[in-house]
A and B are shown apart, each in its own frame.
Chain A
Amino acid sequence: MTMSEAIVAAISDAMTEDDTVYLMGQDIGVFGGPMQSAKGLWDTFGGQGRVIDAPISEAAMVGTAVGAAMAGSRPVVDLMFAEFLALTMTPLGLEGASIAFRTRGAVTAPLVVRAKCGIGPHRGHAESCAGMLLSFPGLKVAMPTTPQDAYSLTRAAIRDDNPVVLLEHMSLLHGARAEVDRTVEVPLGAAVVRREGADLTIAGSGLMVQRALRAAAELARDGLEAEVVDLRSLAPLDAGLVRRSAERTGALLVVEESWPGSGPAAALCAALLQDATVPLGFAVRLLQPPPTPVPFAASLEAAFVPSVADIAGAARALRLPVKGAVTA
């Protein structure tokens, strides 16, 4: 399966198992969803009214999902693109994510919001708005990078009793195919080591994981072994795994595609500074886009998002001077 197919399969399986799961979004009926995000679901569930084609009403799609979830449903909203999340922040972030706290767990809002983001074939709608999402307590955010994780994280998100945003990176959705084991569980909040290495740790999510892996292959040719950590969940964030890896390798490079002011990198740094013994015991460097909107021209877009070469370069700058000093 591709990642996109895996997400659809996860939703389909959840709908088969639990008839309180429904999917609402724009063009998810016979059209099959933007970029095929709901391919085939209409044929199976459309007749039951469980695949609902919505008008351009993002706040109400999420707002009705909060109300339906409180009443006993487990809605999934296909928001098309993450930039539309900004229209939904009161029902999703400020209120939906607060219900469990406010009622001490007596009432919760189990809903999932799917949103495509990142640079990719779509040429536009690249903003992930990740930083905005991370600032709401209680809101969970997951971002898969493999078909297996796409399946398992989607299942975990639908099963979760609180609002979860599933960020689907457009460069990865229709990329590599892989076997998916439907019995594998991936909990929200657990990062994973995608490649082991002893010389530095590169942490990121989405497309940055794929690029970090390619950069690591390049670095290996120079004798520099990078460990690559896929964050998988941006909230809760598995800072513990990142710290343990960085303590082992002695250096941490955080790569990020979203805006630099606040976001996973900032959250990770805050968590590391808060939990770690001071001094940290490892060097830290952030590789992030500049604080501008995502540009459109291909050349500007390429300059905005960290490339494989950028990642490799930042890794060398972080690590090689030490080795260079030894060999000089």
Chain B
Amino acid sequence: MTTVTERALWEAMVEARAFDQAMCRHNGHWHEARGEEAVFVGAYADLGPGDVVAPHFRGTCAVALQRGASPDVLAAGVFGTGGSRSGGHWRGDICPAPGPRSIGMFSGSLGTSVAYATGAALHLSRTTPGAAAVCGFGDGTANSGIVAESLNLAAMLALPIVYVCQDNQYATSLPSAVALAGERVSDRARALSITAHDIDGNDVLAVRAAVGTAVERARAGGGPSFVHALTYRMGGHYMNDPETYRTPEEVAAWAERDPIARLQEVLVARGELDATDADARIAQAHARMDAVVAQAKARGEDPPAPPLARTPRTRPR
């Protein structure tokens, strides 16, 4: 049932990076996702509107873009100004406001969104057979107690959910190699009898295939799966990170494995993409997103919407 072409995956990654880099230029609070695009683009590419997405905060705007959100509204949301969907009431930093089928970061606290996604999967299992939830989180977040509780609950109730650990190898400055007892974060899922895959998180096709298989299992009533996607955060934890905890050599080695360049090479070799066109498209995407973000920032003076008026909600079933 996949309709997204590999070329479209490449475009989604290019767009994701363009938005991300524009934010890096204009927003000092931004948490850069450069280098990790294959995980969040590949994991959510093939889902339908009835499925629930709960991406990791790093890359969450890109998932919204992929699902059709307007970059202007997203950018306004990041700046927390009047043009955003929440009128500035949502946490105006990093994550878009949620909908009934999309979950982001709620406060500044990590881990809870994994429980929310699990609860959404519980709702889907009772009301919408064949629908699934995909939930992303970092290797650091994986250590949170509520994540362990949620995975156990999902296994016990055979919920239709796929957990995707976006392992960029650091939680702020703490390497996952130090923070994680045991070999692999996926072993925690295996200990709960959750099917787990360890994949190359810089290969968007590998991510898409692994998550796709897991989503099919979930849709068919096969219960939760865990995908551990090893990737790397090319930038700092946030914009002002002095990055004293890692070496330039390590960063350079991972730059060789850039997920966008990798897929681009494959598509160019197959004749599905012209190298010169590709460069032009990338430049275009960056120029467009830079303009969008700069404009959203400039409109930051907008008066915020009035305080909460409890509007009637539309309840999806």
Interface residues of A (CB under 8 A from B): 20, 22, 49-50, 52, 54-55, 57, 59-73, 75, 90-91, 94-95, 98-108, 161
A72-B123 contact in complex given A63-B118, A104-B309, C-beta closer than 8 Å: yes
Question: What CA separation (Å) do A68 and B128 show in the bound complex?
Answer: 12
A70-B118 contact in complex given A22-B126, A105-B313, C-beta closer than 8 Å: no
Can you report 18 residue pairs joining A to B where beta carbons are below 8 Å apart? Answer: A20-B126, A55-B149, A59-B115, A60-B146, A63-B112, A63-B116, A63-B149, A70-B100, A71-B101, A71-B124, A72-B100, A94-B106, A103-B85, A104-B87, A104-B308, A105-B313, A106-B85, A106-B311
B106-A64 in contact (CB<8A): no
A184 vs chain B, min Cβ distance (A): 25
B270 interface contact, C-beta 8 A: no
B106-A20 in contact (CB<8A): no
B146-A70 in contact (CB<8A): no
B150-A63 in contact (CB<8A): yes
User: Number of residue pairs across A and B with beta carbons under 8 Å?
Assistant: 158
A90 vs chain B, min Cβ distance (A): 5
Question: What CA separation (Å) do A71 and B315 show in the bound complex?
Answer: 8
A91-B112 contact in complex given A60-B150, A107-B313, C-beta closer than 8 Å: yes
Q: Which residue of A lies closest to B109 (CB)?
A: A90
Please list the 5 inter-chain residue pairs (A to B) with the smallest Cβ-Cβ separation, ordered nearest first.
A63-B115, A67-B119, A67-B116, A64-B119, A60-B149
A19 vs chain B, min Cβ distance (A): 8
Inter-chain contacts of B100 with A (CB < 8 A):
70-72, 107
Question: What CA separation (Å) do A95 and B311 show in the bound complex?
Answer: 19
Known: A20-B126, A71-B120. 19 other contacts (CB 8 A): A20-B317, A22-B126, A55-B153, A57-B153, A60-B115, A60-B149, A64-B119, A67-B117, A68-B120, A68-B123, A70-B116, A70-B120, A90-B107, A100-B310, A102-B97, A103-B86, A104-B86, A104-B309, A105-B313
Inter-chain contacts of A61 with B (CB < 8 A):
153
For B268-302 the 0/1 string (1 means CB < 8 A from A) is 00000000000000000000000000000000000
B224 vs chain A, min Cβ distance (A): 13
B251 interface contact, C-beta 8 A: no
Query: Could you say which interface size class chain B belongs to?
Result: 35 or more
A64-B150 in contact (CB<8A): yes
A268 vs chain B, min Cβ distance (A): 24
Question: What CA separation (Å) do A41 and B310 show in the bound complex?
Answer: 33
Inter-chain contacts of B316 with A (CB < 8 A):
71-72
B74 vs chain A, min Cβ distance (A): 15
Inter-chain contacts of B157 with A (CB < 8 A):
52
B118-A67 in contact (CB<8A): yes
Interface residues of B (CB under 8 A from A): 52, 54, 85-87, 89-91, 97-101, 103, 106-107, 109, 111-112, 114-124, 126-127, 145-146, 149-150, 152-153, 156-157, 305, 308-317
Question: What CA separation (Å) do A68 and B126 show in the bound complex?
Answer: 10
A101-B308 contact in complex given A55-B156, A72-B127, C-beta closer than 8 Å: yes
Inter-chain contacts of A60 with B (CB < 8 A):
115, 118, 146, 149-150, 152-153
Inter-chain contacts of B150 with A (CB < 8 A):
57, 60, 63-64
A58 vs chain B, min Cβ distance (A): 8
Question: What CA separation (Å) do A66 and B103 show in the bound complex?
Answer: 11
Question: What CA separation (Å) do A75 and B313 show in the bound complex?
Answer: 17
A105-B119 in contact (CB<8A): no
Question: What CA separation (Å) do A100 and B101 show in the bound complex?
Answer: 16
A59-B146 contact in complex given A67-B103, A71-B52, C-beta closer than 8 Å: yes
